[in-house]
């Protein structure tokens, strides 16, 4: 089924994201595993809470846990030089996870006959929830709360799926590719959402002692 493939793609992408950020923060193996799994499955847990799905269903992941753990161990033992490419490809993997999970969450909501509003929220929570948990556990400012356009693309995925604009498998994969492309293009172009700050600029003091 399409959402199974998107779930697999998103899981692998976010596991890599969480594992490498954990190693950047110098976490041990247990920390890498916890952060990687939280990144990969945290958004799905939040979505299930929203859709009133029993939390026990979280354990019905089939081989995803095995795939996630194997991916974590592979990333953990990779040479530092290879992991260094994350600085170049990290945003791409994050975009892949965002797109895959947002579409998968939207498909989950439509499968359960939820309205468009719930479909959009399910797409957003599934797409960004794991990333928020990852950043909080790593002691970082969550990416989604910065001025970059991030959650907007998850909302676009929810609208497209909820309105049946992509009601075929080729259409879903086209949407998947489009969300990734728009996410990367928005980073390249520096698109930002409006931001307002209440901080006051400090007036420099002049030392009167001569």
3-class state of residue 192 by DSSP: strand
Which ranges of 51-150 would DSSP assign to H, the alpha helix?
A: 64-77, 80-83, 86-111, 116-137
Neighbouring C-alpha atoms within 13 Å toward the C-beta of 210: 0
Domains of the chain: total: 1
pTM of the complete model: 0.80
Task: For residue 195, tell me if it sits in a domain.
Answer: no
Task: For residue 56, tell me if it sits in a domain.
Answer: yes
Domain that holds residue 105: 2-189
What confidence score (pLDDT) does residue 48 get?
A: 86
Task: For residue 126, tell me if it sits in a domain.
Answer: yes
Per-residue pLDDT tens, the chain, 210 aa: give them. Answer: 566 777 788 788 889 888 888 888 889 999 999 999 998 898 888 888 888 888 777 777 778 888 999 999 999 998 888 877 766 677 787 788 888 889 988 988 998 899 999 999 999 999 888 888 888 888 888 877 765 688 899 999 999 999 988 878 888 889 999 999 998 898 888 888 777 778 776 545 555 454
Give the residue carrying structure tokens 């709360």: 145
Task: For residue 205, tell me if it sits in a domain.
Answer: no
What confidence score (pLDDT) does residue 2 get?
A: 65
What confidence score (pLDDT) does residue 210 get?
A: 45
Task: For residue 208, tell me if it sits in a domain.
Answer: no
Task: For residue 209, tell me if it sits in a domain.
Answer: no
The answer to whether the CB of 103 falls within 8 A of the CB of 161 is yes
Torsion of CA 189, 194, 200, 204, to 10 degrees: 20
Task: For residue 64, tell me if it sits in a domain.
Answer: yes
How is residue 122 annotated by DSSP? H
At residue 112, φ and ψ (nearest 5 deg) are -95, 10
At residue 91, φ and ψ (nearest 5 deg) are -65, -30
The Cβ of residue 8 has, within 10 Å, a number of other Cβ atoms equal to 17
Task: For residue 26, tell me if it sits in a domain.
Answer: yes
3-class state of residue 148 by DSSP: strand
Neighbouring C-alpha atoms within 13 Å toward the C-beta of 107: 22
Structure tokens at 65: 């846990």
């Amino acid at each position: 089924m399409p959402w199974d493939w998107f779930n697999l793609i998103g899981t692998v992408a976010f596991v890599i994201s969480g594992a490498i950020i954990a190693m950047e923060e110098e976490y041990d193996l247990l920390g890498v595993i916890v952060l990687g799994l939280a990144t990969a499955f945290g958004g799905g847990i939040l979505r299930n809470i929203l859709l009133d799905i029993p939390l026990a269903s979280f354990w019905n992941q089939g081989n995803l846990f095995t795939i996630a753990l194997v991916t974590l161990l592979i990333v953990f033992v990779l040479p530092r030089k290879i992991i260094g490419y994350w600085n170049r490809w990290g945003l791409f993997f994050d975009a892949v996870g965002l797109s895959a999970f947002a579409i998968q969450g939207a498909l989950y909501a439509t499968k359960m006959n939820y309205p468009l509003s719930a479909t959009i929220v399910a797409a957003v929570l599934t797409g960004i929830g794991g990333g928020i948990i990852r950043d909080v556990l790593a002691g970082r400012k969550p990416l989604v709360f910065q001025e970059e356009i991030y959650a907007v693309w998850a909302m676009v995925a929810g609208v497209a799926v909820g309105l049946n604009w992509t009601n075929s498998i080729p259409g879903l994969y086209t949407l998947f590719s489009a969300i990734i492309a728009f996410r990367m293009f928005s980073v390249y172009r520096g698109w930002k959402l409006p931001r307002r700050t209440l901080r006051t600029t400090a007036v420099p003091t002049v030392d009167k002692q001569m």
